[in-house]
Chains A and B, each alone.
Chain A
Amino acid sequence: MNLTLVPISGKAKIKEINHPFLRTKLLEMGVALGNEVTVTMRAPFGGPIAFRCGNSNISIRLEDAHHILVN
Chain B
Amino acid sequence: MNILLFGNPNCGKSTLFNLLTGLRQKVGNFPGVTVEKKTGTFSIHEITHTLIDYPGVYSIYPKSQEELVVYDAIKELQSSAEPRVGVVVVDASNFERGLFLFSQLADLDIPMVLVINMIDLAGRNGIAIQLDALKNELKHTPIAVMNARVGLGKNRLLDALAQQIKEQKSENYFGINPTIFEPEAFEQQEADATKRQQSIRKLAERVVVKKEVQAQKSKLDWWLTHPVFGYVIFALILLVIFQAVFTLSSYPMDGIEWVFQQIAMHFAAWVPEGVFQDLLCSGILPGISGVLVFIPQIGLLFFFIALLEDSGYLARAVFLMDRLVRPFGMNGRSVVPLLSSMACAIPGIMATRGIPNAKERLITLFVAPLMSCSARIPVYTLLISVVIPKQRFLGVVQLQGLVLFALYLLGIISALGIAFVMHRMLKQTTRSIYIMEIPDFKPPHWRNIFSTIFEKIKVFTMEAGVIILALSIVIWALSNYGPTEERANAVRELKAEATYAKANAKERNQSEAAVLLEHSYLGKFGKTIEPAIAPLGYDWKIGIAIGSSFLAREVFVGTLSTIYAHDEASGNFRLREKLMREMHPDGSKKFTLASGVSLMVFYVFALQCLSTMAVARRETGSWKIPILQLVLYATLAYTAAWCCFQIF
Chain A interface residues (CB < 8 Å from chain B): 20-30, 32, 40-48, 50, 54-61, 64
Contacts and interface: CB of A to CB of B under 8 A. Distances in A.
Interface residues on B, range: 35 or more
Contact of A25 (B231, B433, B439): B433
A-B CB proximity, top 9 nearest:
A47-B323, A44-B227, A30-B97, A28-B59, A20-B186, A28-B58, A55-B93, A57-B438, A24-B186
Interface string B178-199: 0000000011011001100100
Interface string B433-447: 111111110000000
Contact of A57 (B227, B435, B437): B437
A28 B61 contact: yes
B320 interface: yes
Contacts of A64: 434-435
22 contacts: A20-B187, A24-B190, A25-B63, A27-B193, A27-B197, A29-B97, A32-B197, A40-B221, A41-B225, A41-B438, A44-B227, A44-B231, A47-B319, A47-B322, A47-B323, A47-B324, A48-B332, A50-B319, A54-B94, A57-B439, A58-B438, A59-B437
B221 A29 contact: no
B96 A30 contact: yes
Nearest to B57: A28
Contacts of B59: 28
A35 B532 CA distance: 68
B390 interface: no
Contacts of B231: 44
Nearest to B122: A55
Q: Chain B interface mostly helix, strand, loop or mixed?
A: helix
Nearest to A57: B438
A50 B316 CA distance: 10
A59 B97 CA distance: 17
B519 to A, nearest CB: 59
A41 to B, nearest CB: 5
Nearest to A20: B186
B435 A58 contact: yes
B230 to A, nearest CB: 7
A61 B431 CA distance: 13
Contact of A59 (B197, B227, B319): B319
A55 B93 CA distance: 6
Contact of A29 (B58, B93, B320): B58
Contacts of A55: 93-94, 125, 127
A28 B319 contact: no
A8 B387 CA distance: 54
A43 B320 contact: yes
Among A42, A46, A55, A58, max chain B CB count under 10 A is at: A55
Contacts of A50: 319, 438
B100 A59 contact: no
A58 B436 contact: yes
